[in-house]
Each structure stands twice: as structure tokens, then as C-alpha cells.
Amino acid sequence: MKLGIFVNTDRHLAHVVGFVKAAILKGHQVILFNMDGGTKLLGTPEFRELCRTRGVSLSFCDHSAKHMNVTTEGLPEEMVCGSQYNNAVMMHDADRVIVL
């Protein structure tokens, strides 16, 4: 199964990390997309490590990051700087989506 996680706030980091780890342990793939306030998580070490986890893909909305004054320089290359297209791809490819 592919689990999509749409992150639009920075208030639920522990939940995001917990969902990702639980899904990976069960053998599922995870697709993360961050926008709006969720782009603030890009700077946290715990969140950055998720993109290096096997079975996890992560993208974020560049427009939202700029609007929220989030620095995208120095992010791991596994984090895809994208757009709402990446959100649409996640919605299409994921079997289930959680919004946090």
C-alpha cells in the first residue's frame, strides 16, 4: 500500500514521524507532500531524516516555502522542491491519504 501524508501545518511533527515509521515497518511506501505551514518542518532534523528512509518520498511546495520565508538551501537532495503538481501526483498514486 502507498500512504500519502499531506502536511499543511507544523503542529504535528511527532504524528508525521510516527505514521511514517509505522507504515514503513508494515512494509508500506509513504509519499509526503508539505505546503503552507507544513513547509516549516523542512528545517527540523527529525523531518529531514524521513526523506532518507527507504520507501519514503518527500516533496514540498516551493511557492508555500517562499511565502512562509522557509529557507530551502541546504536541504537533502532527496527532498523534491516542487509545486501543486507533486500534490496531485501524491493524491493520484496513494491508496490512502492522511492530512495533518
Map grid coordinates 500500500 to a residue: 1
pTM of the model: 0.94
**90: which 3 cell numbers?**
501524491
- CATH number of the domain that residue 37 is part of: 3.40.1260.10
The helix/strand/coil state of 95 is coil
pLDDT in tens, 42-78: 999 999 999 999 999 999 999 999 999 999 999 999 9
- Domain range for 56: 2-99
How many whole angstroms separate alpha carbon 80 and alpha carbon 96?
21
Map grid coordinates 511514517 to a residue: 20
What percent of the chain shows pLDDT beyond 90?
96
28-52 average pLDDT score: 96
Residue 80 has a pLDDT of: 96
Domain tally, the chain = 1
